[in-house]
A and B are shown apart, each in its own frame.
Chain A
Amino acid sequence: MDDLLADFVAETREMLESIEGEIIAWEADPGDRERLDSIFRFVHTVKGNCGFFDFPRLAKLSHAAEGALGEVRSGRRAANARLVTAVLSVIDRIAAMVDAIEAKEEFPEGGDEMLVSALEDSEGAVLDVAASHPREEVQTARASQSSAAPRSIRLPVELLDRVMSGVSDMVLARNDLARRLRETPDAGALDGPFERLSGILSEVREGISQMRMHHIDHLYQSLPRLVRDLSNELGKQVMIDFEGGDVELDREIMEMIRDPMTHLLRNAIDHGIETPSRRIAAGKREIGLLNVSARHSGNEIRLTVTDDGKGLDPAKIVAKAIETGVVTEQEASRLSNEEKINLIFAPGLSTAEEVSEISGRGVGMDVVRANLERIGGSIKVTSKPGEFTSFQLQIPLTLSIVAGLTVQAGGHQFAIPQSYVLEIVRRRSSSVETTTLGANRLVKIRGNRIPYLALHDVLALPKNAGKDEGEASDLADILILVHVSTGDRFALGVDSIFDYEDLVVKPLAPAIMATGFYSGSTLLDNGTPILMLDMREIAAKHNLVSATRASKSPSLEADAKKIVKKAAEVMTFETFDGLECAVRMPMVLRIDTIDPATIDYHGKVAQTIIDDRLMPLVGIGPQHETEETVRTLRLSDGTSSLLYAVARISDTQPLTSEIVPSDDPAYEGTVLLNGRPVRLIDGHQLFAKFARPDEASNGLSCALPDDEWSKAILEPLVVAAGYRVERNVENCDVAIVMGDAPPAQTEQAAGRVIRLRETEIARESEQGTVYRYDRDALVAALSQATGGNAA
């Protein structure tokens, strides 16, 4: 019997959830027969089940609702707002009773009759249904229902979790096995089956992760009701619109963003969207629009909540922030508007002139942000006064698998969630200045002074034993630039870094969690447990996350601006000839890795294919021919680009020393970097010599005759010469026509005309024409024809 009862509760809940939207839709369009039918079916089913289980009150309520809806169905009665409200109240009451049934509690007596009579006599009854149904009760009923919502997959959640953690363990066991296989000689025969096992396991793992996934629609379903209730209460008209309902999200995360989402919507309706009269006065539609959209973006979900209300007023927010001491006046004056409105996430800031019942529940935007950050997400706001406010939320896809960077400090290994890592700076290869201010230290990375923490100090570990104590600077070898939240950055010093790995993070025992340094543990491939660092807490412990987080970043940026005479930066590398060279940073477009098979060494300069284009490849010749992939710098002068093959890329660093001119024209001169002479590549010379113009780089167009020969043979030649082929004769800079073309065609040509002839030897009538296979003459004619334009 208990099992049946549990099924009844689960089934009713599931139906309740899906029916919510239907009711709102039905209210908007009472003539919608389909919605009416599904609501009718719901109460009918509940009534049927109640008879079986002997819940007389539930049966009576559902019976009354069924009766009223039945009358509407048969056309004897029209659906009006009062009826809808009455039906809603009944459904709420059913939900609350179902909760009580599950909790094996007695549902408080009374109230049912009023609900029933509200249903029965919608015309005459003057009784206020809302009053008979205290708001709080609805709230609690909703809250408990929503928290139980994911259970509706009809599978004990615990079982699902157990299977999940089982699969995670299998992955770890597989990794362990892999390690042992590697260590075992002559285990070759096991490779095949092991590969197969690995393959199957990753498939299972993927499947299991999907089991945790839910369409975000699930979250959306509960929102229209919230919007309806709130807007009714506040006398506003609000329409809510959803996008991306099929985006999938870990159900655990979905539960964790439910409250922040609800809060954002409450805020939007309460403070954002104006009353209908004000909206009309402002020239807007009477009905306010709320938009919630979700989309995938790499490893995270981006959720946007936008309202077309009055927007945020930066001046007001700043005034409040100054009043509550979040920022000083001086700091505030340096903030951009965007930074100003993002102050609403600072603790203790509520901009509402009076705290209202709806959003003034002691939950501020700081709590919303804290909740999101706890799951590794983030939030920011943009707004235009009078037009809109838009909150952008970034949420990780799943909680249990985290991409992490493994590091070592003081002889211990730790993992850092990759989402916190901005950049890794190797101190050995780039100059990092430090300053000590009081007891704290700052490092200067590319002109920004950033607080510095050594991980071994943070964890009170001994300094890396292998390190030479006599070294001038006691800065760690590797600095990890960490960002904890908008604008808050610090450099974490570690002894070495290992690798990025996908880590299956497990919770830690409470005693370890209580230290506040760790967020979980995970096992490495070799089976060793490793601790995941809680970067937020570590930053907070060192006062690196201030209440005025948003105000931190501008001062950093201001610092950067102050350093006007910022040194030019160069990238250093080693050529295939073993020379240490440097190239000015602005020239480097990016670093490409190319397949050696695509390199063509014939000709004066090697060339290779990249992005389906042939590119000159400098710095490598037939004597360097290699089987390995080749790293190249893609250099650009703005209009053309070329590739420079390098044996090894060292670093980027500021150009601090003087340039000593060199007699080799390929180099600007020699510079001193880290105490070593480095040749600085002369970009001018390089491009003058090797650059191949990018497509249509001369910006000129050429019209061709419309025949097969021109398309197959002439066009490639013209394109290679840097012209864009233009079909319309009137718009071209130069037109090529066949000698026998009618004069009319040539008269239209806007630019110069080149006539081609069929035979090698010109006839008398063909003066001034070019033989069509005389390549040099043709190219010369082209450049002559456009000479004036090009210059």
Chain B
Amino acid sequence: MTEMLLIANIDGRRAAIPASEIASVIEIEEIVAVPMAPSHIVGLTAMRSQALTVVCCRSSLGLVPMQYKRGDRAVVIKIDGHQYALLVDEVEGVVMSSSEPEPVKGGFGEHWNRVALGKVETSGEPAVLIDHKQIVKGPQALAA
């Protein structure tokens, strides 16, 4: 089975999210911080008069957080009625997958294993298919 995938760049790696899960890709304007929130929750931002929760993908993976700036891209997804904007380093574009997601021997490494669903082949290089719900959950899910 093939599907449309959005390829984004997180910490220099290619990550794929099924396009069917994505509402839109936005450019970040202002982010209002949420004090006391988990570290991967960057804050709130407004999109077409709706508040989105901004999640930093790098922090969620336990990596060094992104220093975001205006105009940075974020992938908008919806989980249980809440909208999230996933901050990524870069959005490459939408491609067609050419394989089913499959595991990789040795896994994806300490940071990526939690969110990775498997390796997918695309027309270009392969990418890690990631579970956007895990990204939103953040690293605390590990402890739980």
Q: Which of B32-84 touch A at CB < 8 Å?
A: 32-38, 41, 44-46, 48-51, 53, 80-82, 84
B82 contacts which chain A residues (CB < 8 A)?
A: 507-510
Q: Which of B75-112 touch A at CB < 8 Å?
A: 80-82, 84
* Cross-chain contact A173 with B48 (CB below 8 angstroms): yes
Knowing A527-B46, A529-B45 touch, does A512 contact B51 (C-beta < 8 A)? no
Residue B129 at the chain A interface, CB threshold 8 Å? no
Contact-size category for A: 20 to 34
Partner of A169, one of B30, B33, B49: B49
Partner of A531, one of B34, B137, B138: B34
* Cross-chain contact A529 with B48 (CB below 8 angstroms): no
- Complex-state Cα separation, A461 to B32, whole angstroms: 14
Partner of B35, one of A172, A412, A523: A412
What is the 8 Å Cβ interface bit string for chain A, positions 172-183, against chain B (1 contact, 0 not)? 110110000000
* Cross-chain contact A515 with B46 (CB below 8 angstroms): no
* Cross-chain contact A512 with B41 (CB below 8 angstroms): yes
What is the 8 Å Cβ interface bit string for chain A, positions 158-200, against chain B (1 contact, 0 not)? 0000000000010011011000000000000000000000000
Residue B17 at the chain A interface, CB threshold 8 Å? no
* Cross-chain contact A511 with B41 (CB below 8 angstroms): yes
* Cross-chain contact A176 with B49 (CB below 8 angstroms): yes
Residue B136 at the chain A interface, CB threshold 8 Å? yes
Rounded to whole Å, the gap between the CB of B74 and the closest CB of chain A is: 14
Rounded to whole Å, the gap between the CB of A518 and the closest CB of chain B is: 7
- Complex-state Cα separation, A461 to B38, whole angstroms: 15
Rounded to whole Å, the gap between the CB of B31 and the closest CB of chain A is: 9
Nearest CB in chain A to that of B43: its residue: A529
Knowing A521-B44, A528-B30 touch, does A460 contact B36 (C-beta < 8 A)? yes
A413 contacts which chain B residues (CB < 8 A)?
A: 32
Rounded to whole Å, the gap between the CB of B33 and the closest CB of chain A is: 7
Q: How many residues of B contact A (CB 8 A)?
A: 24
* Cross-chain contact B49 with A460 (CB below 8 angstroms): no
Candidate in A410, A461, A529 with the most chain B CB atoms within 10 angstroms: A529
B46 contacts which chain A residues (CB < 8 A)?
A: 523, 527-529
* Cross-chain contact B35 with A508 (CB below 8 angstroms): no
Rounded to whole Å, the gap between the CB of B7 and the closest CB of chain A is: 25
A522 contacts which chain B residues (CB < 8 A)?
A: 51
Nearest CB in chain B to that of A461: its residue: B35
What is the 8 Å Cβ interface bit string for chain A, positions 493-518, against chain B (1 contact, 0 not)? 00000000000001111111011011
Q: Which of A527-544 touch B at CB < 8 Å?
A: 527-531
Nearest CB in chain A to that of B140: its residue: A511
* Cross-chain contact A459 with B36 (CB below 8 angstroms): yes
Knowing A511-B138, A527-B46, A528-B30 touch, does A517 contact B35 (C-beta < 8 A)? yes
Knowing A169-B49, A509-B84 touch, does A530 contact B32 (C-beta < 8 A)? yes
Candidate in B36, B41, B84, B136 with the most chain A CB atoms within 10 angstroms: B36
Rounded to whole Å, the gap between the CB of A520 and the closest CB of chain B is: 9
* Cross-chain contact A512 with B53 (CB below 8 angstroms): yes
Nearest CB in chain A to that of B36: its residue: A515
Partner of A511, one of B33, B45, B53: B53
- Complex-state Cα separation, A506 to B80, whole angstroms: 14
B51 contacts which chain A residues (CB < 8 A)?
A: 506, 521-523, 529
Count of chain A to chain B residue pairs whose CB atoms are closer than 8 Å in the complex: 72
Nearest CB in chain B to that of A455: its residue: B35
A507 contacts which chain B residues (CB < 8 A)?
A: 81-82
Rounded to whole Å, the gap between the CB of A20 and the closest CB of chain B is: 34
Nearest CB in chain A to that of B53: its residue: A509
Partner of A172, one of B49, B53, B137: B49
What is the 8 Å Cβ interface bit string for chain A, positions 763-778, against chain B (1 contact, 0 not)? 0000000000000000
- Complex-state Cα separation, A515 to B37, whole angstroms: 6
Nearest CB in chain A to that of B32: its residue: A529
B36 contacts which chain A residues (CB < 8 A)?
A: 459-460, 515, 517
Partner of A412, one of B33, B48, B50: B33
Nearest CB in chain B to that of A459: its residue: B35
Nearest CB in chain A to that of B30: its residue: A528
* Cross-chain contact B30 with A512 (CB below 8 angstroms): no
Rounded to whole Å, the gap between the CB of A120 and the closest CB of chain B is: 52
- Complex-state Cα separation, A531 to B44, whole angstroms: 9
- Complex-state Cα separation, A512 to B136, whole angstroms: 11
- Complex-state Cα separation, A127 to B33, whole angstroms: 68
- Complex-state Cα separation, A173 to B51, whole angstroms: 12
Rounded to whole Å, the gap between the CB of A688 and the closest CB of chain B is: 59
- Complex-state Cα separation, A531 to B36, whole angstroms: 12
B50 contacts which chain A residues (CB < 8 A)?
A: 169, 172, 506, 523
Rounded to whole Å, the gap between the CB of B107 and the closest CB of chain A is: 26
A176 contacts which chain B residues (CB < 8 A)?
A: 49
Rounded to whole Å, the gap between the CB of A252 and the closest CB of chain B is: 15
Q: Which of A260-301 touch B at CB < 8 Å?
A: none
B30 contacts which chain A residues (CB < 8 A)?
A: 528
What is the 8 Å Cβ interface bit string for chain A, positions 473-492, against chain B (1 contact, 0 not)? 00000000000000000000
B48 contacts which chain A residues (CB < 8 A)?
A: 169, 173
Rounded to whole Å, the gap between the CB of B105 and the closest CB of chain A is: 33
- Complex-state Cα separation, A512 to B44, whole angstroms: 10
A515 contacts which chain B residues (CB < 8 A)?
A: 34, 36-38
* Cross-chain contact B49 with A527 (CB below 8 angstroms): yes
Knowing A169-B49, A509-B84, A523-B49 touch, does A529 contact B44 (C-beta < 8 A)? yes
Knowing A518-B34, A528-B30, A530-B32 touch, does A508 contact B49 (C-beta < 8 A)? no
A523 contacts which chain B residues (CB < 8 A)?
A: 46, 49-51
- Complex-state Cα separation, A459 to B43, whole angstroms: 14
Nearest CB in chain A to that of B29: its residue: A527
B45 contacts which chain A residues (CB < 8 A)?
A: 529
- Complex-state Cα separation, A169 to B46, whole angstroms: 11
A530 contacts which chain B residues (CB < 8 A)?
A: 32
Knowing A412-B35, A512-B34 touch, does A173 contact B49 (C-beta < 8 A)? yes
Rounded to whole Å, the gap between the CB of B29 and the closest CB of chain A is: 9
A460 contacts which chain B residues (CB < 8 A)?
A: 35-36
A528 contacts which chain B residues (CB < 8 A)?
A: 30, 32, 46
- Complex-state Cα separation, A517 to B41, whole angstroms: 14
A508 contacts which chain B residues (CB < 8 A)?
A: 53, 82
Nearest CB in chain B to that of A414: its residue: B35
Knowing A529-B32, A530-B32 touch, does A511 contact B37 (C-beta < 8 A)? yes
- Complex-state Cα separation, A529 to B30, whole angstroms: 9
A410 contacts which chain B residues (CB < 8 A)?
A: 35
* Cross-chain contact B37 with A512 (CB below 8 angstroms): yes
B80 contacts which chain A residues (CB < 8 A)?
A: 510
B136 contacts which chain A residues (CB < 8 A)?
A: 509, 511
- Complex-state Cα separation, A748 to B38, whole angstroms: 90
* Cross-chain contact B38 with A511 (CB below 8 angstroms): yes
A518 contacts which chain B residues (CB < 8 A)?
A: 34
Interface residues of A (CB under 8 A from B): 169, 172-173, 175-176, 410, 412-413, 459-461, 506-512, 514-515, 517-518, 521-523, 527-531
- Interchain Cβ contacts under 8 Å between A and B, 19 examples: A173-B48, A459-B35, A459-B36, A461-B35, A507-B81, A508-B82, A509-B41, A509-B82, A510-B82, A514-B38, A515-B34, A515-B38, A517-B36, A518-B34, A523-B46, A528-B30, A529-B46, A531-B32, A531-B34
Task: List 10 A-B pairs, minimum CB-CB distance, nearest first.
Answer: A172-B49, A459-B35, A529-B44, A509-B53, A529-B51, A509-B82, A173-B49, A515-B36, A521-B51, A529-B32
Extra 20 A-B pairs, beta carbons < 8 Å, given A518-B34, A527-B46, A528-B32: A169-B48, A172-B49, A173-B48, A410-B35, A413-B32, A460-B35, A507-B82, A509-B41, A509-B136, A511-B37, A511-B38, A511-B137, A511-B138, A514-B38, A521-B51, A523-B49, A527-B49, A529-B45, A529-B51, A530-B32
Interface residues of B (CB under 8 A from A): 30, 32-38, 41, 44-46, 48-51, 53, 80-82, 84, 136-138
